[in-house]
Amino acid sequence: MQIVVQKFGGTSLQSKKIRKHVIYHVKNALETQNKVIVVVSALGKQPTPYATDSLLGLVNYPHTKSSDRELDLLLSCGEIISAVVVANELKEAGVNAAAFTGAQAGIITSDTHTNAKIKSVNPKRILQALDTHDCIVVAGFQGETESGDITTIGRGGSDTTAAALAVATGAVKAEIFTDVDGIMTADPKIVSSARVLPNCTYTETCNLAYQGAKVIHPQAVEIAMQAKLPLHVRSTSKRFKGTLISSKRALQKSAKIEDKPITGIAHLAGIAQVKISKRANPTYSMTEIFKALAAHGISIDFVNLSPNQIAFTLPVSILSHAKQIFKKLNIHAEVTEDCAKVAAVGAGMSGMPGILAKVVSALARKDIQILQAADSHTTIWVLVHENNLATAVNALHDTFSLSEEIPIYR
Higher pLDDT, 50 or 396: 396
Write down how long the chain is. 410
How far apart CA 31 and CA 44 sit, in angstroms, is 28
Say whether pLDDT at 258 is over 50: no
How far apart CA 10 and CA 295 sit, in angstroms, is 35
Tell me, what's the pLDDT at 255?
47
Question: Cα 403 from chain centroid?
Answer: 23
Tell me, what's the pLDDT at 330?
92
Say whether pLDDT at 308 is over 70: yes
One DSSP character per residue, 287-315 reads: HHHHHHHHHTT---EEEEEETTEEEEEEE
Residue 152: partners with Cβ closer than 8 Å, 6 or more residues away: 71, 72, 75, 76, 113, 114, 115, 116, 141, 142
**Kind of pairing between the strands at 264-277 and 379-385:** unpaired
- Phi (first) and psi of residue 54, to 5 degrees: -65, -40
Q: Give the three-state DSSP class for 195.
A: coil
Q: What is the mean pLDDT of residues 315-333?
A: 93
Tell me, what's the pLDDT at 407?
44
Say whether pLDDT at 404 is over 90: no
Residue pLDDT, tens place only, 156-209: 899 999 999 999 999 999 999 998 899 999 999 999 999 999 999 999 999 999
Positive or negative CA dihedral for 221, 226, 227, 230? positive
pLDDT band, very low/low/confident/very high, at 357 (cuts 50, 70, 90): very high
Cβ burial, residue 390 (10 Å; 0-12/13-18/19+): middle
How far apart CA 109 and CA 153 sit, in angstroms, is 8
The DSSP secondary-structure symbol of 259 reads -
- Phi (first) and psi of residue 323, to 5 degrees: -65, -35
Residue pLDDT, tens place only, 12-56: 999 999 999 999 999 999 998 789 999 999 998 888 888 889 999
Identify the top-confidence range among 61-65, 351-355, 375-379.
61-65
Helices assigned H by DSSP within 119-264:
124-130, 157-169, 202-210, 218-227, 248-255
No. of H helices and E strands in the chain?
12, 18
Other beta carbons less than 10 A from residue 345's beta carbon: 28
Strands of the 142-144 sheet, one edge to the other: 118-121, 107-109, 142-144, 150-152
pTM of the model: 0.88
Residue pLDDT, tens place only, 83-123: 999 999 999 999 999 999 999 999 999 999 999 999 999 99
Q: Give the three-state DSSP class for 318.
A: helix
pLDDT band, very low/low/confident/very high, at 136 (cuts 50, 70, 90): very high
Tell me, what's the pLDDT at 406?
54
Other beta carbons less than 10 A from residue 295's beta carbon: 9
Structural domains of the chain in order of their starting residue, each with its CATH number = 3-255 (3.40.1160.10), 264-399 (3.30.2130.10)
Tell me, what's the pLDDT at 408?
42
pLDDT band, very low/low/confident/very high, at 254 (cuts 50, 70, 90): low
Strands annotated E in 93-248: 97-100, 107-109, 118-121, 135-139, 142-144, 150-152, 173-178, 199-201, 231-235, 243-246
> Cβ distance 382 to 273 under 8 Å?
no
Tell me, what's the pLDDT at 206?
92
Tell me, what's the pLDDT at 130?
97
